[in-house]
Amino acid sequence: MMLHSLSKTIKSFLLDPALNATTNSTDRLFLLSSLRSLTQIACHSSSTASSHTSHGMHGTTVLCVSKDGNTVIMADGQVTVGSQAVVKSTAKKTRKIGEHVIGGFAGAVADCFSLIDRLETKIEAHPGQLTRAAVELAKEWRTDRYLRHLEASLVVADKQTILEIYGNGEVLQNDEGVISIGSGSSYAWAAAKALMDTDMDAISITKKAMNIAADRCVFTNKNFSCFQINNDGEISEVDMEEEKGHGK
């Protein structure tokens, strides 16, 4: 409210012809600079409030599908500042975590990488125990003052388990074979669930559902990145350009 009142006062001053006549160019430049700074502060405050409201999941879609012994995690590549500017369209929001885990993230990119690094440390401390590693991370997340301010959510999977790790320290295990987080998560999840009973494989389901989410969510594009893990724990990165060529 104070920022709004101050901005309004400066605008009124700059637009008043009588006051302009008595103001030199240096003072006008100072007032314009002040107005610009106030506007940037107000926009930053607004976008920060918005991101807290959405638990750091605003501006992306991540989908995980597990079917017939193959688990796939796919994410779009759009990075959005606030709700107005797209600053990158080819970001990779999926990655291999350690030797036997894949993951995807939604939220502030730097915060996500910070959490993934911490999760990787926990996985190294508890090899082959993804659930325990995630729970240990969640405990640290809830108690560490620095971690509590990170705006990030993760979907992680090994050959047996799929987990959602949320910004409030919650860890949820999924037994349905479909998990989605982010702005377009409801579209992606619904589409993937509807396709699970078809003869499509995990990659095809994930890609189709992500395309549907991208068509509906303005914060999601079709520059996908993707990792998959099979029953033997073998991890591979899916070449999405090749998938496009196959028309899947």
Q: Which residues, given as ranges, of the chain have pLDDT below 70? A: 1-59, 82-84, 146-148, 167, 242-248
What class, spelled out in words, does domain 61-246 have in CATH? alpha beta
Residue 214, pLDDT score: 96
Q: Domain coordinates of the chain in residue numbers?
A: 2-53, 61-246
Radius of gyration of the chain (CA): 22
Tell me what pLDDT residue 58 has. Answer: 53
Structure pTM? 0.73
Say which of 23, 60, 90, 94 is annotated catalytic: 60
Contact status, residue 197 vs residue 208, Cβ threshold 8 Å: no
60 labelled catalytic: yes
What pLDDT, on a 0 to 100 scale, did the predictor assign at position 188? 97
